[in-house]
Amino acid sequence: MTTTLRPAEAERRDADGGRSRRFTVCVNSRPVGSIEIATDQRFGPESGRIVSLGIDERDRGRGRGTVAALAAEEVLRGWGCRQVEVRIPADAEAALRLAGALGYTERSRAMSKPLRAAPPPVLPEGVEARPMREDEYETWHEHDRARYVDDWVRRGVPYEKAVARADADYRTLLRDGPHTADAVLRVLAQDGEAIGWLWVALRSDGSAWVYVVEVAAARRGRGHGRTLMLLAERECWAAGVRTLGLNVFTGNAPAQRLYASLGYRPTTVDLVKPLL
């Protein structure tokens, strides 16, 4: 039996050059599932994404998904893509095994934790946690923007596009700077010196997302990261938030261990594969 992709709709293109299309997965012309692919506007037109892939239950376990994914990669190569990404629920074991067999490697994962009332974090002697002052904000923002841009550049985004994305994101998420109503900006200080920074965004659905938890390089390894995360949980609970999420890159083992020890569990996994 032959597994093929049949276009389910006309290719869609947007003003920025992005492309996307849905296909029906067929076996000898019989529909057995669907797959959607797109270029990934976060990384530019040379990055593709498998948006979704589903095989009908009665046809699973026969290699249909494998052939469909490989065929989708060929379409993306034809679009000029040099890499492909996929986001898979952390509990979708079969899909994760398939991705691994096809050569995808994990780049990052989202984690979350349901929040319950807890006592405030115990701060070491001489350490205080306080709101970020307006005179501190510009210095912190400049530093964090540079870090954010560098993250995107290292992931293959052209510098100019990374700068434009960073500026757009900050305009949206920190539209009023340190006074942004749905942003929690906190500083961990010791003897008057800032040694850690926290940025949490409160969302309208009752959840929150950690964007920054950073400890000064010279102060790492002393438990300050844990203190900042516990501070984030306390601030979220006080704001009525009951779920806190974050993203962690695969190579950041210390952060992964910290979040796991605090009760955070993976929700989705982002994987990437070069298209040679």
Structural domains of the chain in order of their starting residue, each with its CATH number: 3-81 (3.40.630.30), 116-241 (3.40.630.30)
> What are the residue ranges in the chain where pLDDT is below 50?
none
- Report the alpha-carbon distance of residue 129 to residue 194 in Å, rounded: 10
The 10s digit of each residue's pLDDT in 187-218 is: 999 988 999 999 999 998 989 999 999 999 99
- R_g of the chain, CA atoms, integer Å: 22
Taking the C-alpha atoms of residue 37 and residue 224, their distance in angstroms, rounded to an integer, is: 42
The pLDDT tens digits of the residues spanning 133-164 come to 999 999 999 999 999 999 888 877 889 889 99
Q: How many CA atoms lie within 13 A of 246 on its CB side?
A: 25
Alpha-carbon distance 262 to 241, whole Å? 17
Indicate whether this model's pTM tops 0.95.
no
What beta strand segments (E) does the chain contain? 3-7, 12-13, 19-27, 30-39, 47-55, 83-89, 105-114, 127-131, 183-190, 193-202, 207-215, 243-249, 265-274
Please provide residue 68's backbone torsions phi and psi, each rounded to the nearest 5 degrees.
Answer: -65, -45
* Closest to 40 measured CA to CA, from 258, 228, 237, 271: 271
Q: Give the Cβ contact number of residue 7 at 10 Å.
A: 11
* Residue 157, pLDDT score: 82
Q: Angle, to 10 degrees, between the axis of helix 64-78 and the axis of helix 93-101?
A: 50
What burial class does residue 184 get, using C-beta atoms within 10 Å of its C-beta: 0-12 exposed, 13-18 middle, 19+ buried?
Answer: buried
pLDDT at 1 (0 to 100):
64
Quick one: CA dihedral 217, 180, 186, 230, positive or negative?
Answer: negative
How many angstroms separate the Cα of 20 from the Cα of each of 47, 50, 189?
12, 10, 48
Q: How far apart are CA 136 and CA 113, in angstroms?
A: 30
